């Protein structure tokens, strides 16, 4: 090939530049293929962006299916240094005056000085063995219900166990038995704390004390004659003049839907005034979020379908001009935003009743004042318009639960496009990938054909030069013969 290249053009004047020009002229098809690939990649990226925006819109509507989007409550409190209050969705609007007289505390039993600990570390062996039983119970319980609030467990102490080992066994067994007792070591003394609050007793007894043996309780200074015991207290609070006691500082059963977290004792003339109201701002924000995301989707769709100015030089169009699937999304979203329900059982018929209007360009706006007016009138009606579940009977009188509302309609429609496995966008993306791959294969084959054609051109033009060289040689020979004959 090298000799051919060096010889080619010697007589004909047809060089590699000529071959390159011929190949370049024929390679314009590759440019067309690559332009098609660029267009397809633009389509794929556009659909990917649409999928992301639709997914966000799906989530905005999905959030409006949740009860707390409409039933959330806001709480104001004039004195949260004594009590902090949170409200669940089931809480009723109202006002409460709360006064905390006593916080709930835990009972604590502290051992006396343990014999033999002098000069020892808590990790040194105590040379003790035996079994101890730990019992906690409600001191205010009656004889009939005391057993229901009694918790007990037993540990075994082996020769070689240290004070630290004993405390570790207490805690591990207490946790396993869910007794609520916790042990620690302070100044070489065992401190037992009942994590269950209220007036509870703590007792420690030998489980298998044999006659004549010294009490293990005594050796660990856990007998009642040497221990220090502080009884826990019940929380004492008053809500709207009603006094109540609880064995916890977190109280959930005083007012339905409200949780009172007691954090301090109410000082004089500082009673906590708690007001529970509907959290319309949270609902308004959730609806505004979906309106904003809807506008984002529609604006981007407009960009992708934009034909630009066909009469202008270098006119730029959207990546999905004329795409029927995208036009269907645009049309259906706008239709659902402006449609009116024919369900006579629902007082709210359309988004316009909630202050949401869609202009002729498809953009939506929210009148928050009108929305809040509807929420104040009846937030349940607003919630039912977005999402509700109803029991319906089929032709065989079988009862099933069905979902209704614009949020349900929107998420169902959007899922047709963004579904991971069977969604229209997923299918389109796979189709485009296949087309791009097909173009890659065509480009490869076309380049192979061009390379073979290049080789043929080189062979043909080299052969032409050889022929011209031979013709010139023959012509020179003939001319020499003619000259010789003339001289004779």
Residue 162's domain is classified under what CATH number? Answer: 3.30.70
Decide if 186 contacts 111 (C-beta within 8 A).
Answer: no
The verdict on 96 and 161 lying in the same domain is no
Task: Mark which of 200, 233, 266 sits at the end of a domain.
Answer: 233
Q: Is the pLDDT of residue 108 over 80?
A: yes
The verdict on 98 and 127 lying in the same domain is no
**Could you tell me if residue 3 is inside a domain?**
no
Give strand pairing partners of 73: 278
The verdict on 123 and 209 lying in the same domain is yes
Give the model's pLDDT for residue 392: 80
The verdict on 225 and 261 lying in the same domain is no
**Could you tell me if residue 320 is inside a domain?**
no
Domain total for the chain? 2
The verdict on 169 and 241 lying in the same domain is no
Cα–Cα nearest to 461, from 473, 453, 450: 453
The verdict on 83 and 113 lying in the same domain is no
**Could you tell me if residue 243 is inside a domain?**
yes
The verdict on 124 and 229 lying in the same domain is yes
**Could you tell me if residue 200 is inside a domain?**
yes
Overall pTM > 0.75: no
Tell me the C-alpha distance between 257 and 56, whole Å.
32
The verdict on 182 and 251 lying in the same domain is no
Q: At what angle do helices 424-487 and 406-418 cross, to 10 degrees?
A: 30
422 band by pLDDT with thresholds 50, 70 and 90: confident
**Could you tell me if residue 144 is inside a domain?**
yes
The verdict on 228 and 115 lying in the same domain is yes
146 band by pLDDT with thresholds 50, 70 and 90: very low
The verdict on 116 and 78 lying in the same domain is no
**Could you tell me if residue 129 is inside a domain?**
yes
483 band by pLDDT with thresholds 50, 70 and 90: confident
Tell me the C-alpha distance between 133 and 202, whole Å.
11
208 band by pLDDT with thresholds 50, 70 and 90: low
Residue numbers of the domain that contains 83: 73-103+236-278
């Amino acid at each position: 090939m090298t000799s051919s290249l060096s010889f080619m053009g010697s007589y004909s004047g047809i060089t590699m530049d000529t071959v390159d020009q011929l190949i370049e002229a024929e390679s314009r098809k590759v440019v067309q293929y690559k332009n098609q690939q660029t267009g397809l990649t633009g389509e794929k990226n556009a659909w990917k962006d649409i999928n992301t925006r639709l997914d966000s819109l799906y989530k905005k509507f999905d959030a409006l299916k949740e009860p707390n989007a409409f039933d959330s409550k806001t709480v104001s409190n004039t004195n949260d240094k004594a009590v902090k209050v949170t409200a669940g969705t089931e809480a009723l609007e109202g006002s409460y005056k709360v006064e905390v007289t006593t916080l709930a505390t835990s009972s604590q039993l502290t051992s006396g000085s343990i014999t033999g600990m002098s000069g020892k570390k808590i990790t040194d062996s105590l040379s003790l063995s035996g079994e101890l039983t730990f019992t906690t119970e409600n001191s205010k319980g009656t004889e009939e219900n005391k057993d229901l609030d009694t918790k007990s467990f037993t540990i075994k102490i082996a020769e070689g166990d240290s004070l630290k080992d004993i405390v570790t066994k207490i805690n591990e067994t207490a946790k396993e038995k869910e007794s609520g007792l916790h042990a620690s070591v302070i100044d070489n003394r065992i401190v037992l704390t009942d994590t269950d609050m209220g007036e509870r007793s703590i007792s420690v007894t030998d489980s298998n004390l044999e006659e004549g043996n010294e009490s293990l309780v005594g050796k660990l200074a856990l007998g009642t004659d040497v221990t220090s015991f502080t009884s826990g207290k019940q929380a004492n609070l008053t809500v709207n003049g009603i006094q109540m006691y609880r064995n916890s500082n977190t109280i959930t059963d005083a007012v339905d839907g409200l949780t009172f977290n007691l954090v301090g004792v109410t000082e004089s003339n500082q009673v906590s005034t708690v007001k529970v109201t509907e959290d319309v701002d949270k609902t308004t924000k959730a609806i505004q979020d979906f309106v904003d995301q809807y506008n984002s989707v529609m604006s981007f769709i407009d960009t992708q379908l934009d034909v630009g100015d066909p009469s202008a030089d270098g006119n730029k169009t959207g990546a999905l001009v004329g795409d029927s699937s995208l036009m269907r999304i645009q049309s259906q979203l706008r239709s659902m935003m402006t449609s009116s329900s024919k369900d006579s059982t629902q007082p709210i018929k359309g988004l316009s009743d909630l202050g949401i209007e869609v202009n002729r360009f498809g953009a939506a706006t929210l009148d928050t004042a009108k929305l809040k007016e509807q929420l104040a009138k009846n937030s349940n009606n607003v919630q039912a318009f977005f999402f509700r579940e109803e029991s319906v009977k089929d032709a065989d009188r079988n009862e099933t639960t069905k979902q209704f509302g614009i949020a349900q309609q929107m998420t169902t429609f959007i899922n047709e496009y963004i579904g991971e496995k069977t969604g229209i966008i997923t299918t389109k993306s796979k189709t485009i990938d296949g087309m791009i791959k097909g173009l890659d294969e065509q480009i490869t084959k076309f380049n192979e054909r061009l390379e073979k054609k290049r080789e043929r051109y080189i062979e043909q033009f080299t052969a032409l030069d050889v022929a011209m060289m031979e013709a010139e040689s023959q012509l020179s020979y003939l001319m020499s013969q003619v000259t010789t004959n003339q001289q004779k």
